[in-house]
């Protein structure tokens, strides 16, 4: 029996996570604290090998599945995209965390949990079974609870952790009820079979609504987003980058998978996704606008970007053309890179100005005044990231937004046209809170906290430089990522029966 | 009809226990009422023909979880709190009732059983057919245990850490300085007195 | 199983979910929130068993039920640990004490 390489891709991080923990314990005992980080880097670098093989296999053979008895694992474009995103950002975050976490107790748990979370997210992208999707999803949630509440001496981060736990656990119960409804009607849990068997019935509509709400908690659809700003702002910065760049996107992929299985049932999902998209953009922008803390502002801006992705995916659900989904998934990648970069850059500054001096105060925008003079690279990448998020032309964010907008106009539907115009307006409006940040960093005189900050270590800058180069490169040459986004967009179409 | 009445008994107990678990102000009582919910659900499982789950629900849900709750309450202290709800109670009731009635309206008229071919034993379904679920479950348990350790572990810096030695050495030095200074000041004050 | 019984059990699932969601809305004590979450989980497990029963795959339903019970016990344990840690740091389990993160 031969195992396809994507199985190794899933298994490698999961198997090595306990080893990372053990290496960390050993490192503590013999006084080599870098051992945990080294093991985590080695584990993730090793996972790149099967990733490359799997992407080549996907290119040659197309989507293929591996049946483990009743449950099938399946590698398709969407799974590969999520794997690439989580592995890519994960590797950079582990690199970044070296000096950021150096003074924290329990860093071996941090690295082991991070590696396990990456493996779980890759698995979540590849499963072809509804209940198996739930258990991957739950494993992802459990692995992120500790990471959110990592500073367990800080009341704020404990609160963020418990809020996150209660809300996502309630959401996952709703998903379970939806799974029960689907099982009772179709008698199967395989997503492909459900797609062919399911008939239109109010029960299936209820199941879809439960999936939308249940997974929507993790994806931060607007009335269900209240955990997000706390969790993203209170977690260690590397985790903020992972949460914002990959975890909410993984929730969205889970939602897409379950809804795609029900597309034969109902044509309502497209408009619903677009409606939530509009709500997310508006609410996210309004909430981000008044923020004084950098990380909270970035967290709220995640809501806006989830909105763009939902609009793109909703267009495809509605019109059946792959352009919207492709744009939405392309934006998912770009958002991961840019928001990851923004959180890591904010993290370096937070570390330099506050954490390394031993205080856990939040990083305010006012603290960053004149940061460019002392921390040129962090300031440059932070500015690049927020300008890219705002959608300024030669950067990555512009390209994917543009693709979504074009797909919207090509439907020749007045409502979708209006929605896309609304999205474009929101994109312009978002500059209203991104621009002051850039202004503060470059134009103002250095603030007291900048002058008293510590210098940065070299290794922290490496992920920033890599992400910055990637953002510019994708912006200039968007076809660079076609090998990931085109098959992923096609996956959505397959689900829609196109 | 008789069957329905037979089923209604554990269902009613479960609902009552659930309401009591929320209404009571003492945490310990709340945990015990939860055990009641668990036990009656387990009975219901048994009556539905799900014998293995009934056993597991009874031992894990009613047994283990209750013990853990009582343990946690013991550590955290069973403070009794005034019930000042976050959302106004009536609003909460109305919201929930509307949602449930909507769902019930959708679900109930379509509830029918479908006949399928015979299926294998529970053990083989659990361990073989859905073996992947079990594997992911193991991953989940690993994450949970690590999370528990991470949240709760008392971090006393182990003695063989170099940091600790440094700190101890520093404290020693400070202490010696302090002694030296105080002896110096004593000497100087004595000198002042003799003059 | 006759249709009346089935509907009765479905109503039980829905009512338990209702009770649980209501509890989440009004509870202020962190440990109690975790207790209420457990009520919700029981409802979900019952729902899955019923779904198995309805598609005459009771053993599949049982398998899913076991997985759910185990997984959510872990979640409850982590939740309790967080609550205990909050109590250690702040000396209270009241949600009100935790309102540092509004806005």
User: Is pLDDT of B115 > 70?
Assistant: no
Q: Does A67 touch chain B (CB under 8 A)?
A: no
Mutate to test the interface with C, among A143, A177, A295 (most CBs of C within 10 A): A177
Reported confidence tier of residue A302, pLDDT bands at 50, 70, 90: very high
Q: How many CB pairs under 8 A join A and B?
A: 102
Q: Cβ separation of B79 and C92 shorter than 8 Å? A: yes
State residue B83's pLDDT score: 55
* Confidence tier at B160 by pLDDT (50, 70, 90): very low
* Mean pLDDT across B143-148: 88
CA dihedral A248, A250, A194, C71 (to 10 degrees): -90
Interchain pair C82, A142: CB under 8 A: no
How many domains is chain B built from? 2
Q: Looking at B34, B62, B78, which one is the last position of a domain?
A: B78
Among C51, B65, C78, B138, smallest CA distance to A148 is for: C78
Tell me which residues of chain A have a C-beta less than 8 Å from any C-beta of chain C.
Answer: 131, 135, 138-139, 141-142, 145-146, 149, 152-153, 155-156, 158-162, 165-166, 169-170, 173, 176-177, 179-181, 183-187, 189, 229-230, 233-234
Share of chain A above pLDDT 90, in %: 45
Distance from CA of B48 to the nearest CA of A (A): 15
pLDDT class of A216 with cuts at 50, 70, 90: very high
Specify whether the CB–CB gap between A213 and A225 falls below 8 A: no
- Domain housing C79: 3-94
**Which alpha helices (DSSP H) does C1-103 contain, by range?**
3-26, 30-54, 58-90
* Contact criterion met (CB below 8 Å) for A382 and A345: yes
Most confident option among A21-30, A452-461, B181-190: A21-30
Q: Would an 8 Å CB–CB cutoff place B111 in contact with chain A?
A: yes
Q: Can you tell me the distance from the alpha carbon of A320 to that of A328, in angstroms, rounded to the nearest whole number?
A: 14
| pLDDT above 90 as % of chain B | 16
pLDDT of residue A164: 92
Please report, for the domain that includes residue C19, its CATH number. Answer: 1.10.287.3510
What pLDDT was estimated at residue C96? 66
Closest CA to A218 of A109, A115, A300, A140: A140
3 state SS for chain A: CCCCHHHHHHHHHHHHHHHHHHHHHHHHHHCCCHHHHHHHHHHHHHHHHHHHHHHHHHHHHCCEEEEECCEEEEECHHHHHHHHHHHHHHHHHHHHHHHHCCCCCCHHHHHHHHHHHHHHHHHHHHECEHHHHHHHHHHHHHHHHHHHCCCCCCHHHHHHHHHHHHHHHHHHHHHHHHHHHHHHHHCCCEHHHHHHHCCCCHHHHHHHHHHHHHHHHHHCCHHHCCHHHHHHHHCCHHHHHHHHHHHHHHHHHHHHHHHHHCCCCCCCHHHHHHHHHHHHHHHHHHHHHCCCEHHHHHHHHHHHHHHHHHHHHHHHHHHCCHHHHHHHHHHHHHHHHHHHHHHHHHHHHHHHHCHHHCCCCCCECHHHCCHHHHCHHHHHHHHHHHHHHHCCCCCHHHHHHHHHHHHHHHCCCHHHHHHHHHHHHHHHHHHHHHHHHHHHHHHCCCCHHHHCCCCCCHHHHHHHHHHHHHHHHHHHCHHHHHHHHHHHHHHHHHHCCC
pLDDT at C44: 93
Closest to A111 in 3D by CA, of A276, A242, A219: A242
Query: At A64, phi and psi to the nearest 5?
Result: -140, 155
Beta bridge partners of A66: A73
- At which of B78, B107, B126 does a domain end? B78
Specify if C88 maps to a domain: yes
Confidence class for position B159, pLDDT limits 50, 70, 90: very low
Choose the weakest-confidence range: A478-487, B101-110, B122-131: B101-110
HEC string of A3-64 equals CCHHHHHHHHHHHHHHHHHHHHHHHHHHCCCHHHHHHHHHHHHHHHHHHHHHHHHHHHHCCE
Is the confidence at residue B103, as pLDDT, over 80?
no
Spatial distance between the Cα atoms of B24 and B31, rounded to a whole number of angstroms: 10
For the stretch A261-282, pLDDT in tens is 888 777 788 899 999 999 999 9
Whether C16 has its CB under 8 Å from any CB of chain A: the answer is no
B45-58 exposure pattern, b = at least 16 Cβ within 10 A, e = fewer: bbbbbbebbbebbb
pLDDT tens readout for residues A410-456: 888 888 999 999 999 999 999 999 988 898 888 888 877 777 778 77
Asked whether residue C74 is assigned to any structural domain, the reply reads yes
Domain boundary among B51, B78, B105: B78
Chains contacting C (3 or more CB pairs within 8 Å): A, B
CA geometry: angle A422, A427, A431, nearest 5 deg: 140
Q: Which single residue is written with the structure tokens 């404290």?
A: B171
User: Regarding predicted confidence, which is higher, B117 or A77?
Assistant: A77
Residue A82: pLDDT over 90: yes
Q: What is the CATH number of the domain that holds B24?
A: 1.20.120.1200
pLDDT band at A155 (very low <50, low <70, confident <90, very high): confident
d(CA A117, CA A113) in angstroms, rounded, equals 6
The pLDDT of residue B157 is: 42
| CA dist., res. A407 & res. A419, Å (int) | 12
The Cα A45–Cα A48 span in angstroms is 5
Of residues A237 and C99, which shows the higher confidence score?
A: A237
Per-residue confidence (pLDDT) for residue A393, from 0 to 100: 82
Query: Which residue of B76, B80, B140 to mutate against C (max C Cβ within 10 Å)?
Result: B76
Count the domains in chain C: 1
Identify the helix (H) or strand (E) that includes residue B51.
helix B51-56
Question: Which C residues 11-30 touch B at CB under 8 Å?
Answer: 11-12, 14-23, 25-29
Range of the domain at B178: 160-188
**How confident is the model at residue A156, as a pLDDT?**
85
Question: What is the reported pLDDT for A215?
Answer: 94
Torsion of CA A280, A283, A289, A291, to 10 degrees: -90
Q: Do B108 and C94 touch (CB under 8 A)?
A: no
Quick one: average pLDDT of A363-372?
Answer: 84
Q: Is the pLDDT of residue B158 over 70?
A: no
Structure confidence at residue C97 (pLDDT): 65
Q: Can you read off the two tokens belonging to residue A91?
A: 């590797």
What pLDDT is stored for residue A382 in this prediction? 92
Percent of all residues in chain A with a pLDDT value above 70, rounded to a whole number: 99
What pLDDT does B86 receive? 62
Q: Where are the domains of chain A?
A: 267-498
Residue with tokens 């330099």: A352
Answer yes or no: do A180 and C43 touch at CB < 8 A: no
Question: Is C99 contained in some domain?
Answer: no
Q: Evaluate whether residue B130 is within a structural domain.
A: no
Residues in C touching A139 (Cβ below 8 Å): 71
pLDDT means per 10 residues, chain C with 103 residues, are 81 90 86 92 92 85 91 92 86 68 44
Rounded to the nearest integer, the mean pLDDT of chain A is 88
B-proximal residues of C, 30-59, CB under 8 Å: 31-32, 34-36, 38-39, 42, 45-46, 49-50, 52-59
């Amino acid at each position: 029996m031969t195992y396809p390489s994507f199985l190794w891709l899933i298994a490698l991080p999961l198997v090595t996570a306990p080893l990372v923990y053990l290496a960390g314990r050993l490192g503590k005992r013999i006084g080599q604290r870098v051992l945990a980080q080294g093991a985590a880097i080695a584990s993730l670098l090793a996972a790149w090998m099967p990733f490359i093989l799997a992407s080549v296999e996907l290119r040659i053979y197309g989507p293929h599945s591996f049946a483990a008895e009743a449950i099938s694992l399946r590698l398709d474009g969407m799974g590969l995209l999520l794997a690439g995103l989580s592995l890519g950002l994960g590797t950079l975050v582990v690199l970044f965390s070296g000096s950021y976490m150096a003074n924290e107790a329990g860093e071996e748990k941090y690295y082991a949990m991070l590696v396990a979370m990456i493996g779980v997210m890759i698995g979540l992208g590849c499963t072809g079974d509804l209940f198996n999707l739930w258990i991957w999803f739950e494993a992802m949630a459990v692995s992120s609870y500790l990471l959110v509440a990592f500073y367990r001496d800080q009341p704020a981060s404990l609160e963020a952790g418990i809020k996150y736990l209660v809300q996502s656990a309630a959401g996952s119960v709703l998903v379970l009820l939806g799974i029960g409804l689907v099982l009772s009607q179709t008698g199967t849990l395989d997503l492909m079979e459900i797609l062919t068997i399911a008939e239109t019935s109010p029960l299936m509509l209820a199941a879809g609504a439960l999936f939308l709400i249940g997974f929507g908690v993790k994806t931060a659809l607007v009335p269900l987003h209240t955990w997000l700003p706390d969790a993203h702002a209170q977690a260690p910065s590397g985790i903020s980058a992972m949460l914002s760049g990959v975890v909410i996107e993984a929730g969205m992929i889970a939602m897409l998978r379950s809804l795609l299985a029900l597309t034969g049932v109902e044509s309502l999902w497209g408009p619903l996704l677009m409606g939530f998209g509009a709500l997310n953009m508006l609410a996210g922008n309004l909430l981000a606008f008044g923020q004084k803390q950098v990380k909270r502002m970035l967290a709220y801006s995640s809501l806006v970007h989830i909105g763009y992705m939902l609009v793109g995916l909703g267009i495809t659900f509605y019109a059946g053309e792959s352009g919207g989904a492709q744009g939405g998934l392309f934006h998912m990648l770009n958002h991961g890179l840019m928001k990851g970069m923004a959180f890591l850059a904010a993290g370096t500054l937070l570390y330099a100005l506050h954490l390394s001096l031993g205080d856990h105060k939040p990083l305010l925008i006012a603290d960053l005044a004149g940061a460019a003079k002392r921390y040129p690279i962090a300031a440059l990448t932070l500015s690049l990231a927020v300008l890219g998020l705002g959608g300024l032309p030669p950067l990555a964010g512009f390209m994917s937004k543009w693709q979504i907008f074009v797909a919207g106009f090509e439907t020749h539907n007045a409502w979708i046209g209006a929605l896309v115009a609304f999205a474009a307006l929101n994109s312009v409006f978002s500059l209203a809170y991104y621009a002051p940040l850039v202004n503060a960093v470059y134009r103002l005189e250095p603030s007291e906290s900048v002058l008293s900050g510590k210098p940065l270590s070299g290794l922290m800058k490496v992920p920033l430089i890599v992400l910055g180069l990637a953002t510019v490169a994708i912006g200039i040459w968007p076809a660079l990522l076609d090998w990931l986004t085109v098959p992923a967009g096609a996956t959505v179409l397959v689900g829609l029966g196109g | 009809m008789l069957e329905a009445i037979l089923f209604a008994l554990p269902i009613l107990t479960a609902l009552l226990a659930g309401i009591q678990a929320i209404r009571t102000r003492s945490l310990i009582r709340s945990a015990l009422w939860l055990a009641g919910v668990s036990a009656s659900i387990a009975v219901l499982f048994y009556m539905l023909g799900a014998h293995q789950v009934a056993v597991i629900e009874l031992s894990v849900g009613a047994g283990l979880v209750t013990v853990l709750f009582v343990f946690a309450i013991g550590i955290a202290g069973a403070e009794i709190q005034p019930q000042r709800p976050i959302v106004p109670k009536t609003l909460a009731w109305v919201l929930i009732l509307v949602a449930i009635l909507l769902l019930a309206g959708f679900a109930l008229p379509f509830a029918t059983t479908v006949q399928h071919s015979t299926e294998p034993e529970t053990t083989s379904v659990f361990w073989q057919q859905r073996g992947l679920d079990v594997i992911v479950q193991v991953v989940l348990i690993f994450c949970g245990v690590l999370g528990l350790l991470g949240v709760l572990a008392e971090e006393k810096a182990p003695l063989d850490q170099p940091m600790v030695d440094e700190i101890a050495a520093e404290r020693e030095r400070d202490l010696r300085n302090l002694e030296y200074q105080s002896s110096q000041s004593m000497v100087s004050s004595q000198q002042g007195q003799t003059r | 199983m006759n249709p009346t019984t089935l509907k009765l059990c479905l109503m039980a699932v829905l009512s338990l979910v209702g009770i649980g969601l209501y509890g989440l809305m009004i509870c202020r004590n962190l440990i109690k929130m975790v207790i209420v979450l457990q009520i919700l989980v029981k409802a979900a497990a019952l729902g899955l068993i019923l779904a198995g029963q309805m598609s005459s795959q009771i053993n599949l339903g049982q398998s899913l039920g076991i997985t759910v019970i185990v997984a959510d016990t872990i979640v409850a344990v982590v939740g309790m640990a967080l609550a205990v840690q909050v109590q250690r740091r702040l000396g209270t389990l009241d949600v009100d004490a935790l309102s540092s993160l509004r806005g």
